[in-house]
Amino acid sequence: MAIKADFHLHSSFSGDSEAPMEDMIQKGISLGLTQMCFTEHMDFDFPVSQDTPAGFFEVNTDSYLYDLLKYQAKYREQIQIFFGIELGLQAYLNELQSAYTSAYDFDFIIGSSHLCNGRDPYNAGFYTGRSEEEAYREYFSSIIENLETFHDFDIYGHLDYVVRYGPNKDKNYTYETYKDLFDRMLDLLLENGIGIEINTGGIRYGLKELHPCTDVLKRYRKKGGELITVGSDAHRPGDICREFGRAEELLRDCGFTYYAVFHKRTPSFRKL
Ligand code: HSO
Ligand code: ZN
Ligand code: ZN
Ligand code: ZN
């Protein structure tokens, strides 16, 4: 395993994970990781539903940091542990998001779209009464709106996350279909020095490719993009580093020879 850093990880500080942080760390060590970055969920104003009570995706950041510092010290000889956050972006919350990102000394901030115009693409209702392409277009357009108005984060998470949940998932999905939107997205990322991630978590949803799909990654490379982290989006120990062999192969195929890690919001590059 050449990629020895997993930069997208959840533990029980995230509403949708039951994994104790220490179990995640011990598994990471046993897999031979040298670095792991926790990126707990912080989604402000997430709609309340039966599975998501109020505040479900809002990490208690002080408790999270307290435990993280404790384990950082306890495991310091074995692994480096970083303090990250996965911030759910919505343009009407930009001020609140900015205040939050500057209130803590995060090592790494993933900006992610889990909601789009207040609605959750995880729910079937997001797709009813219109074509799948229309729903996907709404999702990608909201990423563009975020990138036009908010930049206090390091990389954009799982760019094509929406295809995990559409009625046909990624069966009919190609970069070409959404080329206009992806090209705008990639230009905004590059203009603002924001990177992307390879997120291997899509495999758990039966997708044929990782996030983002190969052609998006190739396009990013062609435009001069170089800032890419790799993360499993694990919510339990068994998913840490899952499909990292495939992520490495994909990076190489697209012409990358490095991947990025972050410390104190500053990237450094590690050879594949
Ligand atoms: N944001 C979660 C999935 C989700 N669950 C959306 C409820 N709504 C991905 O980790
Ligand atoms: Zn989650
Ligand atoms: Zn996410
Ligand atoms: Zn995540």
Protein residues within 5 Å, CB atom, of ion ligand 3: 112
Percent of the chain with pLDDT over 70: 100
Strands (E), 178-263: 195-199, 228-231, 258-263
ipTM confidence score: 0.95
Task: Ligand 1 pocket test: pick from 8, 51, 57 the residue with the most ligand atoms within 8 Å of its Cβ.
Answer: 57
Average pLDDT over residues 67-81: 98
Tens digits of per-residue pLDDT, 95-146? 999 999 999 999 999 999 999 999 999 999 999 999 999 999 999 999 999 9
Burial 131-152 (b: 16+ CB within 10 A, else e): ebeebbbbbbbbbebbbeebbb
Q: Does the beta carbon of 56 lie inside 6 Å of ligand 1?
A: no
Confidence of residue 18 (pLDDT cuts 50, 70, 90): very high
d(CA 27, CA 71): 13
Supply the mean pLDDT for the chain.
Answer: 98
The protein residue whose alpha carbon is closest to atom 1 in ligand 1 is: 114
Ligand 2 centroid distance, CA of 237 (Å): 14
**Residue 272's pLDDT band (boundaries 50, 70, 90)?**
very high
Whole-number Å distance, alpha carbon 111 to ligand 4 midpoint, is 10
Closest CA to 263 of 120, 41, 114, 107: 107
| Ligand 2 centroid – CA 249 distance (Å) | 26
List Cβ neighbours of 66 (8 Å cut-off, separation of 6 or more): none
Whether 67 lines ligand 1, by a CB cut-off of 6 Å, is no
Query: Whole-angstrom Cα distance, residue 158 to residue 177?
Result: 18
pLDDT at 190: 98
The closest-lying atom of ligand 1 relative to the alpha carbon of residue 235 is 10
Predicted pLDDT of residue 8: 99
Task: Determine contact, residues 269/258, Cβ cutoff 8 Å.
Answer: yes
Residue 259: pLDDT band with limits 50, 70, 90? very high
Rounded Cα gap, residues 124 and 145, in angstroms: 23
Cα gap 18→13, rounded to integer Å: 8
In which band, very low, low, confident or very high, does the pLDDT at 205 lie, cut at 50, 70 and 90?
very high
Type of residue numbered 189: L
Q: Which atom of ligand 1 is nearest to the CA of 161?
A: 9
* Closest Cα to atom 7 of ligand 1: 122
pLDDT of residue 1: 53
- Check if 114 has its Cβ closer than 6 Å to any atom of ligand 1: yes
- Which atom of ligand 1 is least distant from the CA of 52? 7
Task: Measure the CA–CA gap between 255 and 199, rounded to whole angstroms.
Answer: 18
The pLDDT of 159-172, averaged and rounded, is 98
Q: What is the pLDDT of residue 219?
A: 98
Angle 136-141-143 from CA coordinates, rounded to 5°: 100
Question: Ligand 3 centroid to 223 CA: how many Å?
Answer: 25
The response to whether residue 16 sits with its C-beta less than 6 Å from ligand 1 reads yes
The mean per-residue pLDDT over the stretch 80-108 comes to 98
Select 5-271's CATH number: 3.40.50.300, 3.40.640.10, 3.40.50.720, 3.20.20.140: 3.20.20.140
Domain spans in the chain, listed from the N-terminal domain onward:
5-271
What is the tens place of the pLDDT at every residue in 210-229? 999 999 999 999 999 999 99
pLDDT-derived band of residue 22, with 50, 70 and 90 as boundaries? very high
Token output for 87:
């911030």
CA distances (Å), 48 to each of 44, 51, 96, 139, 218, in order?
A: 11, 8, 19, 20, 38
What pLDDT, on the 0 to 100 scale, is given for residue 30?
98
Average of per-residue pLDDT across 45-52: 96
Peptide bond into 212 cis (omega under 30): yes
